[in-house]
Structure 1
Amino acid sequence: MPSPRKLILVHEPEKACLERLIAAGYPSARALEISSYLAQSTDLAPEFDAIAEACRARGLSFAPVMLDDAAGVLAGEDPEAVLVWTLTDGIAYFRGGAAPALARLGGFDTVGADDSLFALCQDKFRSGAVLGALGLPVPQAGLARDGKWLVEPPASAKGWFVKPNRLGAKIGIWPDSRVADLDHALELSRRVFAAYRDDVVVQPYVAGRNVRASFLGLTPRTGVEALGVAFVDSGGDFQTMADSLALYGETGEAAKATGQYAEPDLVPVADSQPAADARIREIASRLMSGLGLRDVFSIDLRVEPDDTVHLIEFEVCPGLPCFDFRAYCRQQWDLTLAEAMAETAASRLAG
């Protein structure tokens, strides 16, 4: 008799990461900042019951599994009946990239890209090189470690933007992450190395508004037409660590309690710049066909007033419980996040 169908969601909790980083010698404040990138595990946990109910309504069960328990849990499951969805990625500070590799080892189908992309997206310098080789409009980059160039950045009349190579995403950490001279960039690399033990990517500064493109394929046949493309207007040129902390997880809850929480505005790009929207969809299509993005992902870009598009990065584990992805599920699919996850899982398990 066939085993009952099941969705297993593998997630790495903030608390487990925080304790591991402190044990590795990180100061508590820095460890808290780093672990905050796992806030989607914290933010989604209160909805596990809703996801389970949405799955039951579609004939499957749901099991959230902490990353450290994943190997043991998967060892007792039937690969023919189980689908694995990895909530958090990571190859350095975080370890979620191990989950799709474990699933592949056990013969389980997964939601999302294969495990090679889980590793690539977490190294901004290497992923930028691959994106450039695919002919995509990603800024060239230099790489610095603790005040020394590993790769010198290209010249830039508008200055440069400095961000960690493996920590989190596109944020600049501090308000002075846009720099006018390369000595300042090297100073930031020393600060990042001292605080987070990471290299920095140094890219020519690109102007424009921030854009988030979100994708969830409710069925395996869903294509780029389902991409949601929106300006993310927060009032600032770029997101800092402080901005990120105020939006998500336990620190985000504290910000809500003190009235300091404010979600950025989401405005469809197609409403004012349809040519840029079309170009972004071309980029997403190229990422799907040439790089292998599928099922669920997000892309961060900058769009200039003349419709010039700059690709900043891609994410294989978009922040599902974040305001922007929830809005995407409502607008594109007319579903809550829990319903959209369950519908996606059911369509994969049925096929």
Structure 2
Amino acid sequence: MSEHSGPTRKPRVAIVFGGRSSEHAISCVTAGSVLAAIDRTAYDVVPIGIAPDGRWVLESGDTDRLQIKGPDQLPSVDGDRATVALLREAGSTDLVVHEPSQPPHTLGEVDVVFPLLHGPWGEDGTIQGMFEMAGVRYVGAGVLASAVGMDKSYAKLVLRAAGLPVMPSVTVTAREWYRDPDGVRHRVAELGFPLFVKPARAGSSMGIGKVHDAGELDAAVEEAHRHDPKALVEQAAVGAREVECGVLEALDGTPETSVPAEIIVGGEHEFYDFAAKYLPEEHTELAVPADLPEATAAELREMAVRAFAAIDGEGLARVDFFVMPDGSLVVNEINTMPGFTPTSMYPRMWAASGVDYPALVDRLIRLALRRTTGLR
């Protein structure tokens, strides 16, 4: 990234989306929303898709194509388009495009990357490390915070060490499950039923199962391991309300919090699964703001800032809580790149807090342009 760019040139923002994880489609949906909202008079925007096989391509930016049309009509990056790469030169990082039967050509310097990637190989610190190596600024959490936030098992360790309450859990690797399934079943049974089994490093409710008794455990663990060789088996928060809070840095770096919001799952869903989150015909209500006592809301917002600080967060995060039947709060998880469509909980909480969707996108880009790469 050059410090000698012309003063009148608009900052070039590379919107990176798709990726190799099971959340590829959700990333595409998020990117479509940001591409539609970003201020083209302020920024030069370049859409870059990462195909499921890992190829980087120059995408069209067609926002209509980047939408969920139905359960079996999920958007995907077009891997047949011209490939693109970040090329580190002295003092700058350029985008270089490779098309069949054509010499490589450059799109010019990249000022900031907005990585709208969910799941492994995008939200877990891997791509953040690549951007650090390339010397290019990027939106959101750094390498450590991204990695900790992505891994639910390690996030619990960090949050617990910071004095924040979390639900009791057991981590089950595929190796442990293969070598000693009876030992795993015994450890899990000590948590009591019902339980939730989750891939440790996935999101969008992919691979999550509710286990009512010991007879359902094996199938749930195997389904979680289909998404991730590390699974988290967690005690269910019976009777709890699911409430979330957004954290967003001010331009001076001070973390601010949104009004909390509640997820009220209806229909036949026992929990906030993929269909309840993303399919429009499902009966899920998002209460923004949540109907909470003033003291509870204040405590929740304070705990959200503590969780953000505990993982060394930057830019943004969504902190998910359980409000237990007795009114106490438990941190469920922290998400460093939350769902980011205008109807997703994070932008809706900020809209209710006075920061609309275009302003939210702009704030995050401006934050990224202000910070340095490397140690900070």
TM (normalized to structure 2)? 0.70
- Write out aligned runs for 1:1-351 (5 A): 1-3=4-6, 4=9, 5-12=11-18, 17=20, 35-36=22-23, 38-45=25-32, 47-51=34-38, 54-56=39-41, 59-67=42-50, 68-69=55-56, 72-73=85-86, 75=88, 78=92, 82-91=111-120, 97-144=125-172, 145=174, 146=177, 148=181, 149=183, 152-153=187-188, 155-156=190-191, 159-168=194-203, 173-174=208-209, 177-181=210-214, 184-193=216-225, 195-196=226-227, 198-207=229-238, 208-224=240-256, 226-235=257-266, 236-244=269-277, 247=278, 252=279, 256=280, 260-269=281-290, 271-321=291-341, 322-335=343-356, 337-349=357-369
Partners of 1:172 and 1:297 lie apart in 2 by: 22
Deviations 1:1-30 (A, max 9, x none): 5243222222125xxx4xxxxxxxxxxxxx
Partners of 2:167 and 2:87 lie apart in 1 by: 40
User: Unaligned stretches of 5+ in structure 2?
Assistant: 58-83, 94-108, 372-376
Partners of 2:124 and 2:307 lie apart in 1 by: 22
Deviations 1:163-199 (A, max 9, x none): 222232556634xx14244x53244213433x44544
Partners of 1:36 and 1:50 lie apart in 2 by: 22
Task: Indicate if the aligned counterparts of 1:160 and 1:202 stay in contact, CA closer than 8 A.
Answer: yes
Distance 1:309 1:342, change over 3 A: same
Cα distance, 1:319 vs. partner? 0.8
Task: Indicate if the aligned counterparts of 2:197 and 2:232 stay in contact, CA closer than 8 A.
Answer: yes
Partners of 1:303 and 1:237 lie apart in 2 by: 17
Secondary structure, aligned partner of 1:72: strand
Distance 1:118 1:196, change over 3 A: same
Cα distance, 1:304 vs. partner? 1.9
Task: Please identify, of 81-90 and 154-163, the stretch whose mean Cα deviation from structure 2 is larger.
Answer: 154-163
What is the number of residues matched between the two proteins? Answer: 308
Task: Indicate if the aligned counterparts of 1:210 and 1:231 stay in contact, CA closer than 8 A.
Answer: yes
Structure with the higher helix share, 1 or 2: 1
Cα distance, 1:96 vs. partner? 6.8
Secondary structure, aligned partner of 1:112: coil
Secondary structure, aligned partner of 2:251: coil
User: Unaligned stretches of 5+ in structure 1?
Assistant: 18-33
Distance 1:143 1:185, change over 3 A: farther
Partners of 1:213 and 1:305 lie apart in 2 by: 19
Task: Indicate if the aligned counterparts of 2:276 and 2:282 stay in contact, CA closer than 8 A.
Answer: no
Partners of 2:206 and 2:241 lie apart in 1 by: 14
Mark the structure with the bigger radius of gyration.
2
Task: Please identify, of 64-73 and 306-315, the stretch whose mean Cα deviation from structure 2 is larger.
Answer: 64-73
Cα distance, 1:341 vs. partner? 0.7
Letter in 2 for 1:2: S
Partners of 2:294 and 2:29 lie apart in 1 by: 36
Q: CA RMSD in A?
A: 3.2
Secondary structure, aligned partner of 1:121: helix
Cα distance, 1:138 vs. partner? 0.9
Partners of 1:96 and 1:173 lie apart in 2 by: 19
Cα distance, 1:265 vs. partner? 2.4
Partners of 1:261 and 1:213 lie apart in 2 by: 23
Secondary structure, aligned partner of 1:10: strand
Cα distance, 1:113 vs. partner? 1.2
Partners of 2:189 and 2:250 lie apart in 1 by: 41
Partners of 1:63 and 1:136 lie apart in 2 by: 40
| Corresponding position of 1:31 | none
Partners of 1:108 and 1:73 lie apart in 2 by: 9
Task: Indicate if the aligned counterparts of 2:170 and 2:188 stay in contact, CA closer than 8 A.
Answer: yes
Cα distance, 1:263 vs. partner? 4.6
Task: Indicate if the aligned counterparts of 2:191 and 2:235 stay in contact, CA closer than 8 A.
Answer: yes
Secondary structure, aligned partner of 2:85: helix
Structure with the higher strand share, 1 or 2: 2
Matched-pair identity in %: 19
Deviations 1:188-247 (A, max 9, x none): 213433x445443112221311112123335243423x3331111122542234434xx1
Task: Indicate if the aligned counterparts of 2:261 and 2:286 stay in contact, CA closer than 8 A.
Answer: no
Cα distance, 1:294 vs. partner? 2.2
Distance 1:309 1:72, change over 3 A: same
TM (normalized to structure 1)? 0.75
